[in-house]
Amino acid sequence: MARKRRSANEEDKMSISENVHIENAGTIKQEIITDTLTTNYMPYAMSVILSRAIPEIDGLKPSHRKLLYTMYNMGLLKGNTIKSANIVGRTMQLNPHGDASIYDTMVRLSRGNESLLYPYVESKGNFGKAYSKNMMYAASRYTEAKLAPICKELFDDIDKDTVDFVDNYDNTMKEPRLLPVTFPSILCNVTTGIAVGMASSIASFNLKEVCETTIALMKNPEHVISDTLIAPDFVGGGYILYNKEELEKIYEIGRGSIKVRSKYTYDKSYNCIDITEIPPTTTSEAIIDKIIELAKNNKIKEISDVRDETDLKGLKITVDLKRGVDPDKLMTKLYKMTPLEDSFSCNFNVLINGTPAVRGVRELLDEWTKFRLNCVTRRITFSLNKKRNQLHLLKGLSKILLDIDKAIKIIRETESESEVIPNLMIGFGIDKIQAEYVAEIKLRHLNREYILKRIKDIENLEIDIANLEKDLSSKTRLKKIIISELEEVIKKYDNGRRSEVLYDVNDNLDEEVYEIPDYPVTLFITEGGYIKKIRTANLRMSGEQKVKEGDTIISTIECSNKDEILVFSDKNQVYKSKVDDFQDTKASLLGEYAPGKLEMDEGEEVAYVAVFSSYKGYMIFVFENGKIAKVDMSAYETKTNRKKLINAYSDKSPLVYAMHIQEDVDIVICNSNGRKLLLNTATILPKATKSTQGVQAMTLKKKADKIESVHLYKVGEFEKEWRYRPKNLPAAGALPSAADIGEQLTF
């Protein structure tokens, strides 16, 4: 077979590749990982934090600001809507990240999408819905948009040097560093963003309440924010479950959680529930899917059908009920078991002067006030300089108008045009700028009416300049200007609250309302804090119980799925739950991590888990200092459905041992000196106070001595049991005999 001949081009390539030598090619270069992160990853992280994900004091991210400023330059604050594709294309002059991301930004800012309480974009066409993941928006070539009227407050006086302008990405245009917003927009719309190593989640508040709070703080820095700022307000409405402590925490430190509950009506004629408002953190599909899942698992038996009836009028989820079902009781159950009641987590992380930090409402409004004071100061300074320049020109003109004939004579007798300005300057004692202005006056203006008007203009300008100078010299006057602007914003754009506030909410679900299925289960509790629930019927078919590497099972409890759980932590707190709250699992899985499941505080670990069917019996606590506390279980029973109780036991000494008992038992206490004490818990009087220090059971002779361990006594554990039982408390206990520790005496 003939060999295929290479072309001349292939021969050239081969000869080049054979002769090329790349230095260090194929060698592995060792670098310190921290140096690589510093040079490669950190600049990216800073770019995401400073230029993408975190909002600034004007309430906007850079992508929002670039889009809105482009629309403003296109004259879309007035007039009709134009194609969204046109807007997206123009915005790419400022935002080079692609048309898809720009259009996504426009959709979220639009009125049609219903993401914002105060939308910035008026939309025409299908912009999708924030409350539905299936209702997607149309392509940009089919939709139209323009700026909403409220955007006037974003751009007012932007052409009067109120904010700094910077170059765009290719240095061909200028764009504003911030927008001179006339109201605290940072708190008026929901803003979320995920950066690198940090995130931001800002709840929306009613515009009137925000403006009134800002005014109150400007007048009195010690103003109580909750007096004017009632609670967040979401575009989707619903009910805000009022929690004063949690709201004050959000107002002060910028972190916290707000519970939002769906709003519904009962249609008696069709025996159905219509859900028309849902929390901002969920979608209609998620709610429907969860209800269907619960119905399939027989956890909800009162529903015959559920469907999405959303139309042009708005959101509507319809739940058909079976005959005789109480709709209010059913909704109470659904609030607990579905996203119909959800929490909005607040993390008020805002970028101010290039520094991201989590700030409370008070601090945010103070920062906005400083920002707005700067904008107003710059605006007044701009106007003042403009009026001063105008006054300067008119004063020069006034000198000319006193002797017009002389001015005309100077101009006529001047041979060269270039000499006109210098001759006017000499003839009337005016500067070059004034002379230029005078020389450009038309002959038709050299009449009595024009002269009188210009003289009056001088008087008005002098009055205006004096007022502006007073404004600049007084911070009080500047604040009055801002306050008047805020009051005007309230008049223009206040349209009432969307979300209704519920102050007295009974979250206590009776067992009759929430029917927990009753079946035997086995709980496996590990040292690392994992709780695994397996149906006892399935346990025989299970293999070896899987645990995390390094973890061990410390307790196996047989109980009912309807039983209660108390999880005591090492931080003197107890978390209340139900066995049913933990999912049925199998031996090959780890189970659920209790600190995460129960939302324990950071760094908090499980100390003891008590499982019981009723609040009867006692909790036994043994501390390092030798004291024992016996607390009646009724102390942990609450009328409301509280999930967390503080001061669950005494914090005066570290906890060594905890145990739930139905009746008194014998326990053995061992100290660091080797002594052991055997006592019955009946000798300890029970207390109703959870944080009781208890009584001294074992005396510790040395300061360094402490209780090291406690365990239940096994009959026959000690040869001479009476040696370890005290007649009175406190007692020192006894050192174990040779027989008790398994040794034989030698002589």
Write down the number of H helices and E strands in the chain. 19, 32
Any bridge partners for residue 598, and if so which? none
Residue where the block lists tokens 């499982």: 611
724 — phi, psi (to 5°)? Answer: -100, -15
Which among 553, 606, 605, 610 has a CA at the least distance from the CA of 579? 610
What does each C-alpha distance from 551 to 1, 385, 410, 526, 678 come to in angstroms? 70, 74, 103, 7, 31
**Under 8 Å between Cβ of 97 and 112:** no
For the sheet containing 627-632, what is the strand order? 655-661, 618-623, 627-632, 695-696
CA distance 353 to 375: 15
Q: Which residues contact 725 (CB under 8 A, 6 or more apart)?
A: 678, 679
d(CA 658, CA 321): 47
d(CA 533, CA 420): 100
| Radius of gyration in angstroms for the set of CA atoms belonging to the chain, rounded to a whole number | 38
Return the residue matching tokens 């929002």: 64
Neighbours of 330 (CB within 10 A): 20
Q: How far is CA 350 from the centre of its chain?
A: 11
Catalytic residue from among 41, 44, 142, 270: 142
> How many CA atoms lie less than 13 Å away from 280 in the CB half-sphere?
28
Specify whether the CB–CB gap between 307 and 287 falls below 8 A. Answer: no
Alpha-carbon span 156 to 488, nearest angstrom: 13
| Region of residue 246 (left: phi > 0; alpha: psi -120 to 50; beta: else) | alpha
Q: Where are the alpha helices (DSSP H) in 256-342?
A: 284-296, 327-337
Cα–Cα distance between 561 and 563 in angstroms, integer?
A: 6
- The Cα-based distances of 182 to 176, 251, 369, 525, 667 in angstroms read 15, 22, 10, 57, 71
Are 460 and 387 a contacting pair, CB within 8 Å? no
Q: Which residue has the tokens 């041979």?
A: 415
Helix (H, G, I), strand (E, B) or coil at 186: helix
Establish whether 335 is a catalytic residue: no
For residue 334, how many other CB atoms are within 10 A of its CB?
Answer: 24
For residue 596, the tally of other CB atoms under 10 A from its CB is 9
The conformation of residue 40, written as its DSSP 8-state character, comes to I
Q: Report the candidate in 498, 507, 187 with the shortest Cα–Cα distance to residue 341.
A: 507
Buried b (16+ CB within 10 A) or exposed e, 268-277: eeeebbbbbb
CB 202 within 8 A of CB 117: no
Structure tokens at 359: 């700030």
Q: Which residues are catalytic?
A: 142
